Amino acid sequence: MDILGIVLTVVIVGVTGCLLGFFLCFASEKFKVEVDERETAIINVLPGNNCGGCGYAGCSGLAAAIVKGEAPVNGCPVGGAPVAAKVGEIMGVEAEDGEKMVAFVKCAGNCEKANKNYEYSGVEDCQAMAFVPGGGPKACKYGCMGYGSCVKACPFDAIHIVDGIAVVDKEACKACGKCVATCPNHLIELVPYSSTQLVQCSSKDKGKDVMSVCSVGCIACHLCEKNCPAEAITVEDNIAHIDQSKCTHCGLCAEKCPKKIILSL
């Protein structure tokens, strides 16, 4: 190749590069999406866990929703009040005080108290029990299976399997709700951190059937309901429910419960 051909090639490549650069600059200006400065500021103060506990697709999704007025400034369950205050400052509003929530497992049927229909050896995953005879070896079809799907789902190491059932460390829990969504038996719920009386059972069977599979299950005797001075307890579908907004934390329900299934902290 002679020198003229080399020069021509360099010129063509250079011109092509310039044209592409010009086109990219034009396209970036033409199609760029304006981002509210407040959205970027909110992303910077959010924890960055991207856990989805707020109901949006990560922290950026929540930040965008807050700026649009579609989500409250205290919408991040992980950040809690401190983060809510910072977000409120960015948005120019006062963050409402929301009570801290924690996950709670509604089952006390550990290895000693709950019966098994058979010994199981296989994949240790609660959701896999849907493909196992009887829904798993545990005699109570409503109880915690103890194979740790919730443990694997928790990004904060706040839940562990202890003696065959899931137990939540309320100090480590950030109320992201991932364990709630993962549990196939719907045993986990978010409750106020200040709750002192909680029912550790989810069985909807009648008392006689409950006692045949678990020594500590709720037998729907209604004693807690009858003795609650605040009328905070109702028994529905053979299981006691406590309305935490009405509960005065007197502890009388736990005292009267013959199965001692009401946790009194």
CA-to-CA distance for 52 and 178, rounded, in angstroms? 8
CA-to-CA distance for 129 and 50, rounded, in angstroms? 29
Does residue 28 or residue 71 have the better pLDDT?
71
Q: Of the ranges 6-20, 149-163, 168-182, which one carries the lowest mean pLDDT score?
A: 6-20
Residue 4 has pLDDT above 90, yes or no: no
What six digits make up the tokens of 221? 């005797």
Digit-coded pLDDT (tens) for 197-234: 999 999 999 999 999 999 999 999 999 999 999 999 99
Residue 27 has pLDDT above 90, yes or no: no
Q: Report the amino acid identity of residue 13.
A: V
Beta bridge partners of 167: 160
Residue 246 has pLDDT above 80, yes or no: yes
CA-to-CA distance for 4 and 37, rounded, in angstroms? 53
CB contact at 8 A, 142 and 202: yes
Q: Which of 163, 166, 128 is nearest to 144 (CA)?
A: 166
CATH superfamily for domain 37-91: Electron transport complex subunit B, putative Fe-S cluster (1.10.15.40)
**pLDDT value of residue 53:** 82
Domain spanning 195-265 has what CATH number? 3.30.70.20
CATH fold group of domain 99-193: Alpha-Beta Plaits (3.30.70)
Helix axes 58-68, 80-91, angle to 10 degrees: 40
**pLDDT value of residue 54:** 86
Rounded to the nearest integer, the mean pLDDT of the chain is: 89
Residue 154 has pLDDT above 70, yes or no: yes
**Single pTM value for the model:** 0.77
Residue 98 has pLDDT above 90, yes or no: no
List the helix and strand counts (H, then E) for the chain. Answer: 9, 8
Residue 58 — pLDDT band, cuts 50, 70, 90?
Answer: confident
Residue 11 has pLDDT above 70, yes or no: no
* Helix, strand or coil, per DSSP, at residue 191: strand
Q: Of the ranges 12-21, 101-110, 140-149, 253-262, which one carries the lowest mean pLDDT score?
A: 12-21
Residue 191 has pLDDT above 90, yes or no: yes
Cβ burial of 231 (10 Å; 0-12, 13-18, 19+) is exposed
CB contact at 8 A, 199 and 262: yes
Q: Mean pLDDT, to the nearest integer, of 75-95?
A: 88
**pLDDT value of residue 29:** 60
Q: Of the ranges 34-48, 103-117, 139-153, 244-258, which one carries the lowest mean pLDDT score?
A: 34-48
Residue 55 — pLDDT band, cuts 50, 70, 90?
Answer: confident
Residue 37 — pLDDT band, cuts 50, 70, 90?
Answer: confident
CA-to-CA distance for 193 and 201, rounded, in angstroms? 19
CA-to-CA distance for 77 and 63, rounded, in angstroms? 13
CA-to-CA distance for 186 and 142, rounded, in angstroms? 9
Residue 254 has pLDDT above 70, yes or no: yes
**pLDDT value of residue 20:** 74
Q: Are strands 188-192 and 101-105 parallel, antiparallel or unpaired?
A: antiparallel
Chain-centroid distance of CA 105 in Å reads 12
**pLDDT value of residue 24:** 67
**Domain locations in the chain as residue ranges:** 37-91, 99-193, 195-265
Q: Which of 33, 34, 36, 35 is nearest to 90 (CA)?
A: 36
Q: Mean pLDDT, to the nearest integer, of 120-142?
A: 92
Fold match, 99-193 / 195-265: yes
